[in-house]
Amino acid sequence: MFIQTEATPNPATLKFLPGRTVLADGTLDMPDPEHAAQSPLAERLFDIPGVSGVFLGSDFITVTKAAGEWQHLKPTILGAIMEHFMSGAPIVRSEVRGPAAAEEFFAAGDAETVATIKELIETRVRPAVAGDGGDITFRGYKDGVVYLAMKGSCSGCPSSTATLRHGIQNLLRHFIPDVTEVRPV
């Protein structure tokens, strides 16, 4: 098994590509060890000193470090991922469900605008963000402000503010003049 690694815009996060499906659908963000009960793979990764976050995507795993240098952590992380896949253990426990998705908020009269926002995020933003080892989801819309949740390598990334302000905000404003601002949740 060959696992590729890629840098992300967040220097505290590395993206690991095992060359096979990680999650069949959706993403799973485990920002701390308490959330890792959902995934035997995440539990294994959190056992590595210095690992502070794990994010699972369709074909990638991003690992965030709180301490240590990548040249010391990377071999141990690669070994843990390889051992997990070779063991045949599940990536996610089917009997354990993650926290329910956060409620979305928006006025009923804004439903058409929100549908357009969601479509743009789904088709233009999420694929680009996944390429950097993260995810971004719609959380709400009120008074021209779009609220988005950033996960994986995007969470806590130094360039996430620029991504929101210059990239996503400009994209949404271009297609939806009613959008005045984009904010993280």
CATH class of the domain whose range is 4-87: alpha beta
What order do you get walking across the sheet with 28-30 strand by strand?
4-7, 13-17, 61-65, 51-56, 28-30
**What's the whole-model pTM score?**
0.73
Percent of the chain with pLDDT over 90: 51
Q: What is the pLDDT of residues 7-64, one digit of tens each?
A: 988 889 999 999 999 998 888 899 899 989 989 999 999 999 999 999 999 899 999 9
How much is the pLDDT for 175? 92
How much is the pLDDT for 136? 84
Q: Are 73 and 48 in contact (CB under 8 A)?
A: yes
Average pLDDT in the chain: 87
Q: Which helix (H) or strand (E) holds 130?
A: helix 126-131
Whole-angstrom Cα distance, residue 135 to residue 58?
Answer: 11
How much is the pLDDT for 157? 65
Band (pLDDT 50/70/90 cuts) for residue 155 is: low
How much is the pLDDT for 151? 80
Band (pLDDT 50/70/90 cuts) for residue 166 is: confident
How much is the pLDDT for 85? 94
Q: Looking up tokens 């939806």, which residue turns up?
A: 176
CATH 3.30.300.130 domain range(s) in the chain: 108-184
**CATH architecture of the domain with residue range 108-184:** 2-Layer Sandwich (3.30)
Q: Which helix (H) or strand (E) holds 13?
A: strand 13-17
Is the confidence at residue 164, as pLDDT, over 80?
A: no
How much is the pLDDT for 19? 93
